[in-house]
């Protein structure tokens, strides 16, 4: 019994591969058409949809992918197969989606900014023109956080000290190519406030580092565990990253703290399809995600506070990505 | 949360029917593979790893832990009956266990091993229960510098201890460190040695490497050997040891429990080193050391107790620091990572059900093993009749399907095959895969933390010495190196004199002992026994 259970995913994966391979051939004539007039696309979806999650099972992207996937399945009446294809900060998953063809039956969850900044940095087998963002599912802001016994209690004190003592404060960031790290570089380059960014991998490590007093502050994705630590009083938030303040973290924005340009450090998880996907597929999915995000159980599973107050559709999502490319492109291509 | 609350919660988790089933499965699989020579706990866990992704994280760890300490019991059976260690840590058991069997005392030998294993395991679980939470509190203070010190110590000890050829294992550790640099660099984000291949951006997948080196390498190596049917001639009777046996071995069991516990906590310490250390101690303490090697029951009781205690306490560094102490623990580390859980000082507070659930399952698992082993020894022995060819083909199939299911990536299957080939060649040429795999895991922790320390200290190397904890660890490392150099020089001087008695024991058994490929088996064939310090070292 155990053996059977365990090989089931492999068999499933194999059959999915076969399916996507078939789908590829079928999509061939549509590739350059790109229009929504096709009869086949009109009654989308008529078969099962593969949703690629470019990160490991069990992580926050996986949660977002599976939640929205099961809701789409419910709404559109077709099976949504979630497939984890992790690797190379999401590039492996992106390639897998592109290989699946642009008929709308292979979609991917994308995590912005990583999916937009990867191609700026290395040759990862795709460019930002190769995919179409469809809708935002969740957005998680970053927060600048110090420990409860820190000498700083406000953003003002922190940044003033940093300005007077360049490079002395150590600030943990979740990775070297993350939006948090890049915002700190812009802080130094555009505002002359210099801190040392120390890259960690993931929230668990950063939490330990701040609790053990091994860094002065962390600039961290304010996911559920961080909110819990703030509530428990072991974390003190000094500032948050989005353009507008968020109601669940009691701290000013970086823009309010004197850095009006620093508004891009927000992790956005959204749905995307390969470029050239029929227009009506995009609009169908936009509508479906919008409906899903209004459902209470979906909102609760995703974390109520992370679901955007106002639905972010394909166009708005695209311009978000464009502004990130504009802000980080020059830094990454140095 | 207090320890009592914690352990209460743990039992609530462990007594869940599903988890209870998995503890049972784990210890059963462990016993079975312990019995089967050539399939050690590392190979088995490497092979079964992908299958655990389907279950809850706590259930996965419960299963894998069960396999690990279960194999410590199972390995005894063939050591005693056939002078064939089922897994590495039981090599020492062949010295006296087989002699006891020849004297018609196989039953008491197995009985005392099971009892000793139970006591050792239980003592170690109690130690784990009491010591891990305060240690985790302390570990929160650990900065990058301490992690550098600990991982460097780990690599040093793994290379020095319990290996036949320190130079060879040093080479393997170096290779492991090099392999760990492949992929995107954590600090600057540049890609290294990827040759523009996206598949290499994250480096080699640890699971694939381990499955290749241990799993496939092992399978290839075993297939190559000629199959010979093993006949069990010994009749088993009176498994329960006599009162005199208990009296004779009570001291050995007590010392084995404590010694095994502490050695298990050290990097590289689980399993074989603890049993060797215990054997050496018992032999030195004995009034009549010449009895050893001729069927002394202490020589079975002590090591069997110690290897079980150490396989339990080896969980401490993983669960409190996130540093795997040996290769089996590295695999369990991998299993947790895949489940989205990073073991570290936060584990106890953030994932209490995993920490306490696993601990509680160990109490239960040890009880189950005692119940399984005493009455069912005869049944397990029959397993030796399974032809290894059938086993190998099946294991290979499971491996390939399993590794594909981890990342849905066929690239990993090639990695497994490549490393399988490498592992097979390494075994043939006497290189151990253990140091390679452990250095591969610890290497990225070491490098990232080293560079993080450099960032934090502004490039001052003195940061490693001025911080009290990392300073102490580095001093300890210096001491280990100095002592081993001095004793190495001494040994060279003594070369002309005949080998120590213990060495003869091992040399004698070495030729018949199966060089089976668990990472802990560094000492399998002509390995020298522990030196006076209890630290086994190469003498060739």
C-alpha to C-alpha distance for A142 and A85, rounded to whole angstroms = 25
Q: Which of A85, A47, A51 is nearest to A66 (CA)?
A: A51
3-state secondary structure of A79: coil
Residue A331, chain B, CB below 8 Å: the answer is no
Q: What is the mean pLDDT of chain B?
A: 79
Per-residue pLDDT at B233? 55
**C-alpha gyration radius of chain A:** 21
Scanning chain A, the segments in alpha helix (DSSP H) are: 2-27, 30-33, 39-42, 60-76, 91-99, 114-121, 155-164, 179-191, 202-211, 224-232, 279-293, 296-302, 314-332
How far is the CA of A71 from the CAs of A74, A76, A281, in angstroms? 5, 9, 16
B179: distance to nearest CA of chain A, Å? 17
Tokens at residue B38, please?
A: 């050539």
- Residues A208, B140: C-beta atoms closer than 8 Å: yes
**Residues facing A199 on adjacent strands:** A173
Reply yes or no on whether the pLDDT at B421 is more than 90: yes
In angstroms, the separation between the Cα of residue B419 and the nearest Cα of chain A is: 20
The pLDDT value recorded for residue B291 is: 85
Average pLDDT score over residue span B426-445: 85
What is the DSSP annotation of A182-226?
HHHHHHHHHH----EEEE-SHHHHHHHHHHTTSSSEEEEE--HHH
B138: nearest CA partner in chain A: A212
Q: Quote the longest CA-to-CA distance of chain A.
A: 66
For CA atoms A140, A143, A147, A148, the dihedral sign is negative
Say yes or no for a CB contact (<8 Å) between B141 and A3.
Answer: no
Tens digits of per-residue pLDDT, B120-141?
A: 989 999 998 888 888 888 877 8
The confidence score (pLDDT) of residue A270 equals 94
Distance CA A97, CA A107 (A): 6
B270: confidence class by pLDDT, cuts 50, 70, 90: low
With cut-offs at 50, 70 and 90, classify the pLDDT of residue B279: confident
> Which of the four pLDDT bands, split at 50, 70 and 90, describes residue B288?
confident
Residues B79-118 pLDDT 10s: 788 777 766 677 788 888 888 888 888 888 888 888 898 9
Q: What is the reported pLDDT for A31?
A: 40
Q: Of B130, B528, B109, which Cα lies nearest the Cα of B303?
A: B109
CA-to-CA distance for B374 and A7, rounded, in angstroms? Answer: 34
The closest alpha carbon to B82, from B233, B183, B201, belongs to B233
Q: Which tokens belong to B309? A: 């205690």
Q: What are the b/e assignments for B501-536, b being 16+ CB within 10 Å?
A: ebbebbeebbeebbbbbbbbbbbbbbbbbbbeebbb
The owner of tokens 């040994």 is: B491
The position carrying tokens 């006891």 is B100
Tens digit of each residue's pLDDT, chain A (334 residues): 344 444 444 444 444 444 444 444 443 444 444 444 454 567 888 899 999 998 876 677 888 898 999 999 999 999 998 888 877 778 888 888 998 888 999 999 999 888 888 888 878 888 889 999 999 999 999 999 999 889 999 999 999 999 999 989 999 998 887 889 889 999 998 899 999 999 888 787 888 888 888 899 999 998 888 888 898 888 999 999 998 899 899 999 999 999 998 888 888 999 999 999 999 999 999 999 999 999 998 898 888 889 998 899 999 999 999 988 888 888 877 6
A-chain residues within 8 Å CB-CB of B444?
none
Burial track B388-398 (b if 16+ CB lie within 10 A, e otherwise): beebbeebbeb
Indicate the DSSP class of residue A107: E
Distance from CA of A233 to the nearest CA of B (A): 15
Q: What is the DSSP string of A4-46?
A: HHHHHHHHHHHHHHHHHHHHHHHHTTHHHH--S--HHHHT--S
Chosen for mutation from B59, B208, B338, B408 (greatest number of chain A CBs closer than 10 Å) is B408
pLDDT in tens, B348-388: 888 888 899 999 999 999 899 888 877 777 777 777 666 76
Residue A155: partners with Cβ closer than 8 Å, 6 or more residues away = A144, A238, A239, A251, A252, A254, A257
Please give the Cα distance from B493 to B504 (Å, whole number). 19
Cβ(A52)–Cβ(A96) under 8 Å? yes
A234 contact B CB<8A: no
> Does A13 or B35 have the greater pLDDT score?
B35
| Least confident stretch, B186-195, B335-344, B494-503, B525-534 | B525-534
DSSP state of B318: H
DSSP B499: P
Query: Which of B29, B142, B189 would best serve as a mutation to test chain A binding (most A beta carbons within 10 A)?
Result: B189
Distance of CA B320 to the CA centre of its chain: 18
Closest among A68, A106, A65 to A286, alpha carbons compared: A68
CB contact residues (below 8 A), chain A span 37-56, against chain B:
56
Q: How far apart are the first and last CA of chain A?
A: 55
Selected residues 257-286 of chain A with any CB under 8 Å from a CB in chain B: none
CA A328/CA A184 separation, integer angstroms: 11
DSSP B63-91: HHHHHHHHHHHHHHHHHHHHS--SSGGGT
In angstroms, the CA B368 to CA B364 distance is 6
How far A4 CA sits from the closest chain B CA (Å)? 10
In a 3-state reduction of DSSP, which class is residue A133? strand
Nearest to B517 by CA among B273, B220, B226, B227: B220
The HSE-up count of residue A85 (CA atoms within 13 Å, CB side) is 30
The beta-carbon neighbor of B201 closest among A7, A91, A207 is A91
Residue of A nearest to B444 (CA): A201
B67, B73 Cβ separation under 8 angstroms: no
pLDDT at A1: 38
Identify the pLDDT of residue B164.
Answer: 66
What is the average per-residue pLDDT within B57-61? 90
Q: Which domains does chain A have, with CATH numbers?
A: 2-140+267-332 (3.40.190.150), 141-240 (3.40.190.10)
Contact A177 B186 (CB under 8 A): no
DSSP label at B389? H
Q: Could you tell me which residues of chain B have a Cβ less than 8 Å from any Cβ in chain A?
A: 25, 50-51, 53-54, 140-144, 184-189, 191, 196, 198-199, 201-202, 338-342, 344-346, 350, 398, 401-402, 404-405, 407-409, 448, 452, 455-456, 458
Query: Which has the closest alpha carbon to B66: B32, B97, B89, B90?
Result: B32
Q: How far apart are CA A55 and CA A108, in angstroms?
A: 11
Rank A287-291, B428-432, B509-513 by mean pLDDT and report only the highest: A287-291
Residue in B343, B405, B415, B447 to test binding to A, most A beta-carbons within 10 Å: B405
Estimate the crossing angle of helix A314-332 against helix A114-121, to 10 degrees: 40
CB contacts, 8 Å: B196 with chain A: 123
Q: Which of B156-170, B214-228, B481-495 has the highest mean pLDDT?
A: B481-495
Q: How many of the other CB atoms lie within 10 Å of CB of B468?
A: 9
Distance CA B17, CA B34 (A): 25
Identify which has the larger pLDDT, B534 or A163: A163
A308: CB partners within 8 A, 6+ apart:
A136, A138, A139, A293
Query: Are A216 and A173 within 8 A, CB to CB?
Result: no
Q: Give yes or no for a contact between A320 and A272, defined as CB atoms under 8 angstroms apart.
A: no
Helix (H) / strand (E) element for A172: namely strand A170-173
Q: Residue A241: which of A318, A92, A141, A112 has the closest Cα? A: A141
ipTM: 0.72
Q: Report CB contact under 8 Å: A204, B187.
A: no
Instruction: Tell me the count of A-B CB pairs closer than 8 A.
Output: 119
């Amino acid at each position: 019994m155990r053996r059977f259970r365990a090989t089931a995913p492999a068999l499933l994966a194999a059959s999915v591969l076969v399916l996507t391979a078939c789908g590829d051939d079928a999509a061939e004539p549509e590739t350059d058409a790109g229009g929504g007039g096709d009869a086949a696309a009109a009654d989308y979806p008529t078969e099962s949809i593969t949703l690629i999650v470019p990160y490991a099972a069990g992580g926050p992207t996986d949660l977002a992918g599976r939640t929205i996937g099961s809701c789409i399945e419910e709404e559109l009446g077709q099976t949504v197969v979630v497939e984890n294809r992790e690797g190379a900060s999401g590039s492996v998953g992106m390639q897998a989606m592109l290989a699946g063809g642009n008929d709308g039956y292979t979609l991917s969850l994308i995590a912005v900014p990583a999916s937009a900044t990867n191609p700026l940095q290395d040759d990862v087998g795709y460019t930002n023109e190769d995919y179409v963002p469809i809708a935002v599912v969740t957005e998680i802001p970053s927060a600048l956080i110090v420990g409860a016994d820190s000498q700083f209690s406000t953003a003002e004190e922190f940044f003033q000290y940093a300005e007077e003592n360049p490079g002395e404060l150590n600030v943990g960031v979740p990775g070297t190519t993350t939006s948090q790290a890049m915002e700190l570089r812009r802080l130094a380059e555009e505002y002359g406030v210099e801190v040392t960014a120390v890259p960690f991998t993931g929230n668990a490590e950063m939490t330990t580092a701040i609790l053990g007093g091994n860094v002065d502050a962390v600039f961290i994705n304010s996911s559920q565990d961080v909110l819990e630590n703030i509530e428990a009083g072991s974390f003190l938030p000094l500032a948050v990253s989005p353009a507008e303040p968020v109601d669940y973290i009691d701290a000013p924005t970086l823009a309010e703290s004197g850095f009006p340009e620093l508004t891009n450090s927000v992790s956005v998880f959204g749905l995307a399809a390969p470029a050239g996907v029929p227009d009506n597929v995009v609009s169908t999915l936009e509508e479906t995600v919008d409906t899903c995000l209004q459902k209470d159980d979906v909102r609760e599973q995703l974390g109520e506070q992370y679901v955007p107050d106002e639905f972010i559709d394909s166009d708005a999502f695209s311009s978000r990505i464009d502004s990130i490319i504009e802000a980080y492109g020059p830094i990454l291509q140095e | 949360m207090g320890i009592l609350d914690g352990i209460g919660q743990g039992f609530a988790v462990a007594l869940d029917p599903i988890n209870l089933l998995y503890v049972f499965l784990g210890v059963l699989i462990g016993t079975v593979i312990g019995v089967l020579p050539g399939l050690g706990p590392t190979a088995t866990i490497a092979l079964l790893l992908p299958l655990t992704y389907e279950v809850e994280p706590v259930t996965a760890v419960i299963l894998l832990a069960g396999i690990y300490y279960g194999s410590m019991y199972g390995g005894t059976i063939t050591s005693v009956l056939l002078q064939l260690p089922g897994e590495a840590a039981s090599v020492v058991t062949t010295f006296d266990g087989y002699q006891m069997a020849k004297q018609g005392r196989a039953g008491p030998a197995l009985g005392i091993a099971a009892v000793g294993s139970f006591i050792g395991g239980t003592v170690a679980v109690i130690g784990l229960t009491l010591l891990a939470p305060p240690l985790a509190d302390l570990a929160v203070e650990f900065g990058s510098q301490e992690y550098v010190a600990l991982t460097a110590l780990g690599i040093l000890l793994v290379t020095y201890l319990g290996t036949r050829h320190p130079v060879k294992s040093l080479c393997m550790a170096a290779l492991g460190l090099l392999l760990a640099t492949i992929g995107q660099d954590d600090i600057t984000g540049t890609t290294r040695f990827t040759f523009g291949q996206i598949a290499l951006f994250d480096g080699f997948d640890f699971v694939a490497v381990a499955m290749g080196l241990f799993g496939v390498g092992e399978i290839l190596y075993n297939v190559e050997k000629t199959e010979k049917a093993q006949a069990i001639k010994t009749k088993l009777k009176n498994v329960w040891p006599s009162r005199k046996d208990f009296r004779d071995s009570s001291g050995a069991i007590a010392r084995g429990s404590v010694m095994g516990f502490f050695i298990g906590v050290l990097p590289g310490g689980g399993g074989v080193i603890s049993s060797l250390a215990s054997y050496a101690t018992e032999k030195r303490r004995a009034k009549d050391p010449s009895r050893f090697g001729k069927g002394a029951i202490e020589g079975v009781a002590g090591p069997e107790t110690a290897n079980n205690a150490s396989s339990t306490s080896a969980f401490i560094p993983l669960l409190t620091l996130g540093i795997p102490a040996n290769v089996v623990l590295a695999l369990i580390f991998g299993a947790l990572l895949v489940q989205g859980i990073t073991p570290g000082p936060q584990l106890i507070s953030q994932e209490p059900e995993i920490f306490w659930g696993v601990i509680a399952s160990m109490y239960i698992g040890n009880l189950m093993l005692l119940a399984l082993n005493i009455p069912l020894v005869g049944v397990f022995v029959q397993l030796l009749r399974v032809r290894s060819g059938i086993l190998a083909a099946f294991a290979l199939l499971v491996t390939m399907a399993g590794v594909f299911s981890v990342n849905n990536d066929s690239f990993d299957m090639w990695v497994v095959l490549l490393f399988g080939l490498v592992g097979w060649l390494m075994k043939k040429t006497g290189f151990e895969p253990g140091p390679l795999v452990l250095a591969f895991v610890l290497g990225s922790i070491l490098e990232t933390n080293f560079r993080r320390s450099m960032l934090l200290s502004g490039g001052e190397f003195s940061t490693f010495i001025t911080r009290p904890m990392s300073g102490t660890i580095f001093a300890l490392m210096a001491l280990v190196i100095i002592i081993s150099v001095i004793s190495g020089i001494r040994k060279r001087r003594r070369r002309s004199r005949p080998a120590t008695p213990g060495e003869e024991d091992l040399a004698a058994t070495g030729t018949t002992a199966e060089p089976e490929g668990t990472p802990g088996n560094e000492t399998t064939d002509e390995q020298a026994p522990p030196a006076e310090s209890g630290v086994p070292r190469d003498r060739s």
